[in-house]
Amino acid sequence: MTMQMSRPADLDVAGFELTDEQRRLRDQVRDFADTVVAPAAYEYDTKRSLPYGIVAEMGRMGLFGLPFPVEYGGQGKDYLSLCLAVEQLGRVDQSIGVTLEAGVGLGAMPIFRNGTEEQKQQWLPMLARGEALAGFGLTEADAGSDASGTKTTAVLRDGEWAINGSKQFITNSGSEITKLVTITAVTGEDRRADGSIKKELSAIIVPTGTPGFVAEAVYDKVGWHTSDTHPLTLTDVRVPEANLLGERGRGYANFLHTLDEGRVAFAALCTGAAQGCLEEAIRYAKSRNVFGHPIGSNQHIAFKIARMQARVHAARLAYYDAAFRLVAGVPFKMEASIAKLVGSEAAMDNARDATQIFGGYGFLNESPVARHYRDSKILEIGEGTSEVQLMIISRALGFES
């Protein structure tokens, strides 16, 4: 006779033991996600609006300040702690999960990593408290992974940057509490010996109230309906020369490092989505009766769910590995791309399988798996497509692509 023991599906994975403090944080955010975020998810999804009350509560919990020092209003925790929080939120609502992930990893982190002391003191406390959000303005119609396509320009005149251009798909860029967007712009050009032109790209902080800065109408997206995402137009936007973020000409290089870090938290979001689909599929397979038996008693359903569990486990292993490396201060670029690739595929595959298990009920938007099905595709696109991750991994292995 064998005895089956129940265990949490997201216990520590072998070799990556969490501290007691990290476990308490994970459990606290999980409880918040289940009792506050999940019950409101469908309502805000249909409204297509960011739930500011929930965001404010996340701020009071200290989630937006997790990886920042206390002197800047943060919690003094590490990057893994942020990832644990993002995973638990993404489990029930990817829009809320990415609001935290992008708000910290893409909005505030560039200021913490590259800002002057004055810039940190000015912006980080309000961002760390969740009283304000910041955007990360890299992508354009012809630029993203290809920096040479950047057309936004910033010209230094009389101690001010005059910025003109546009950005696309910028998260947290037009909400009621968005206070700044850091953008990349061409600040000069260098002619090489072969006659080709190399663009000098720099990063500049643009407060959202600056004349000429316009967050255009929110996108009508397939998923992530409550995540704030806008195209931006910058017309003769003028900000002080001191708003340069980091060294002039290092804007794109610094943003690439930001993306490397961001992909670790993004992989945690993917893992949370995959976990959420797994939990819903287990619950439904045990409670849905057909021909007098739970559908989970059918081997093909049980095996499908077993594969879902395997994907979650692999995804969590991958992002834990990348996060532990990041925190330890050792190279993690390839591991971040592996985690993002594995996690996004796990989320998409689990969403597909969970929807199939739910049948017709899985095609109703009020169902969590239906929202995961719509939301998860962007996980294979945002913060670098799967193809970009494969390019980074292959280059780390010595292949030129």
Residue among 61, 104, 106, 99 nearest 82 (CA): 104
Q: How far is CA 161 from the centre of its chain?
A: 29
Q: DSSP characters for 191-258?
A: E-TTS-EEEEEEEEEEETTSTTEEE-SPP--SS-TTS-EEEEEEEEEEEEGGGEESSTT-HHHHHHHH
Sign of CA dihedral 356, 360, 365, 366: negative
For residues 320 and 324, give the distance between their C-alpha atoms in angstroms, rounded to a whole number: 6
- Quick check: 95 and 159 in contact, CB under 8 A? no
* Beta-bridge partner residues of 160: 157, 240
DSSP 75-123: ----HHHHHHHHHHHHHH-HHHHHHHHIIIIIIIHHHHHH--HHHHHHH
Cβ-defined contacts of 287-296 (< 8 Å, 24+): 295/357
Catalytic residues: 383
How far apart (Å, rounded) are the C-alpha atoms in residues 349 and 380? 11
